Amino acid sequence: MNQLSLFAPLSVEELTTHIKALLESDTTLQDVWVEGEVSNFSRPQSGHCYFSLKDAASQIRCVMWRSTAARLARLPEDGQKVLVHGAVGVYEQQGVYQLYVNEVLPTGIGELYVLFERLKTRLRDEGLFAEERKRPLPPYPRRIGIVTSPTGAALRDILHVLRRRFPCVEVTLAPTPVQGAEAPDQIAAAIGWLNEHTECDVLIVARGGGSLEELQPFNDERVARAIHGSRIPVVSGVGHETDLTIADMVADRRAPTPSAAAEVATPERADLLGAIREGRSRLARAVAESVQSSAERLSYLTRALERASPIHRVNYQRQQVDERQRRMIARCQGAFSRWNLAAGSLAKRLDSLNPDATLARGYSIVSLERTEDVVSSCRQVESGDRIAVRVSDGQFGGQVTEKPCNQEAQAK
């Protein structure tokens, strides 16, 4: 900023520029809410709006550009009490300071709005809206806690969606009023109760659409802190698409409506059925593959086992035995035939030695009964010895009657 000199005179432009710079460097003046009554409202061809804001003691000129005016549901009217937000600036050409308005709210709502903005800023600075503290929702919730009015359309919509999408979920409703002075404490308490006394794995805090006043409980610090303090992740579904409440900002997930909150909190039934179907077919495929590979392995092992079977060894040994047996038989047969020949001649010779033939010719064999020796000499016998005489057709007994010495003498 230029330092003003007390001695050198300034041009009007220099002075005006200095004043402008002074006002525009003041942070309060650049972000200010002012309440007052509208007067001299005009909107020329350009589309920009010009009016004054006044109270009993003062007034200030206001400018609202066409783009701001286009956003407003209703333009301000003369005599209307409003709350405006804007920045103070200088219009050099006319040497006037004025408020460049970027928001106009009817008083009442306007106050709520200011409170809302203040709370939002404070809680944001405190980190309550931080992305990194938002928790994931369970993919397949077991029990859903609902904080809403037991009689509202919001509850009906939520239950309808739950029944359609994921009917196996269990629901615990903590009924509360959702508007009025009682609502914030009761909503906050319900969130606390569900945390303390139930096994819910996700909470839905919901309310149907309404005016800013009606949605006020969801812009209340007590509710915001209860959501923030919830051990269970919270899905908010407050109002319609366009309503964005403090509760929505603190919640782990924000859904634009109660129905949408129920959808966010549950899996899609068709997806699940698809997933189950896929699980089934993967199961069947895995088993078929397993059976197939087991069968292949089995047949491989069977073949390997067959190859390694002792039957092969047995057969080999059997062959070896056969082989030896054959050789043995061949050898033996040679020997046998030779022995047969020999045996034949032996039999003949044996036959010629058979005494029966001699006996048939009239010879006899005398044997001594007492010794059973064959008698071939007189000296063997004594007179009176019993003898057996064998002839061709039998034998008979006898007795020696004469001295053998006689016979000997005779022979001499």
Partner 1 sequence: MKETHHDIQSLSFEEAFGELESLVQQLEEGKLPLEETIRLFEKGSLLAQHCQALLDKAELRVQQLTEGADGEPQFTDFEVEE
The reply to whether 274 sits near partner 1 by the rule CB under 8 A is: no
39-47, 105-113, 155-163, 235-243 -> range binding partner 1 (CB under 8 A): 155-163
Reduced to 3 states (helix: H, G, I; strand: E, B; else coil), residue 78 is coil
Binder of partner 1 out of 31, 47, 108, 140 (CB under 8 A): 140
Please state the separation of Cα 38 from the chain's center in Å.
65
Residue 276 vs 405, nearer CB to partner 1: 276
Please state the separation of Cα 173 from the chain's center in Å.
31
The reply to whether 299 sits near partner 1 by the rule CB under 8 A is: no
Spell out the alpha helix ranges (H) of 54-108.
Answer: 66-71
SS3 annotation, 247-263: HHHHCCEEECCHHHHHH
Binder of partner 1 out of 10, 130, 287, 328 (CB under 8 A): 287
Residue 49 vs 169, nearer CB to partner 1: 169
Cα dist from 289 to 221, 275, 279, whole Å: 60, 21, 15
Cα dist from 197 to 189, 194, 233, whole Å: 12, 6, 15
Binder of partner 1 out of 197, 240, 324, 386 (CB under 8 A): 197
Using CB under 8 A as the binding rule, the residues of this chain from 221 to 260 that contact partner 1 are none
Binder of partner 1 out of 172, 195, 364, 380 (CB under 8 A): 172
Cβ atoms of residues 111 and 83 within 8 Å: yes
Residue 293 vs 333, nearer CB to partner 1: 293
Cβ atoms of residues 387 and 375 within 8 Å: yes
Structure tokens at 39: 């007067």
Q: Which residues lie across from 104 on neighbouring strands?
A: 84
The reply to whether 280 sits near partner 1 by the rule CB under 8 A is: yes
Binder of partner 1 out of 128, 166, 204, 223 (CB under 8 A): 166
Upper half-sphere CA count for residue 388 (Cβ side, 13 Å): 11
Using CB under 8 A as the binding rule, the residues of this chain from 198 to 227 that contact partner 1 are 198
What is the C-alpha to C-alpha distance for residues 82 and 104, in angstroms, rounded to an integer?
7
The secondary element (H helix, E strand) that includes residue 331 is helix 310-352
Binder of partner 1 out of 193, 195, 209, 225 (CB under 8 A): 193
108-116, 276-284, 342-350, 397-405 -> range binding partner 1 (CB under 8 A): 276-284
State the minimum distance, in angstroms, from the CB of residue 141 to partner 1: 8
Cβ atoms of residues 411 and 378 within 8 Å: no
State the minimum distance, in angstroms, from the CB of residue 163 to partner 1: 5
Binder of partner 1 out of 168, 304, 329, 357 (CB under 8 A): 168
Binder of partner 1 out of 273, 347, 350, 360 (CB under 8 A): 273
State the minimum distance, in angstroms, from the CB of residue 250 to partner 1: 22
The reply to whether 169 sits near partner 1 by the rule CB under 8 A is: yes
* # of chain residues touching partner 1 (CB under 8 A): 44
Which of 89, 79, 76 shows the shortest CA–CA distance to 30?
89
22-30, 177-185, 208-216, 289-297 -> range binding partner 1 (CB under 8 A): 289-297
Contacting residues for 204 by C-beta, under 8 A, at least 6 apart = 144, 145, 146, 147, 148, 158, 234, 235, 236, 237, 258, 261, 262, 265
State the minimum distance, in angstroms, from the CB of residue 284 to partner 1: 8
State the minimum distance, in angstroms, from the CB of residue 253 to partner 1: 18
State the minimum distance, in angstroms, from the CB of residue 206 to partner 1: 14
Sign of the alpha-carbon dihedral angle for 152, 156, 162, 168: positive
What is the C-alpha to C-alpha distance for residues 358 and 29, in angstroms, rounded to an integer?
174
Cβ atoms of residues 229 and 201 within 8 Å: no
Interface residues toward partner 1, by CB under 8 A: 138-142, 145, 150, 156, 159, 162-163, 166-175, 190, 193-194, 196-198, 269, 272-273, 275-276, 279-280, 282-284, 286-287, 289-291, 293-294
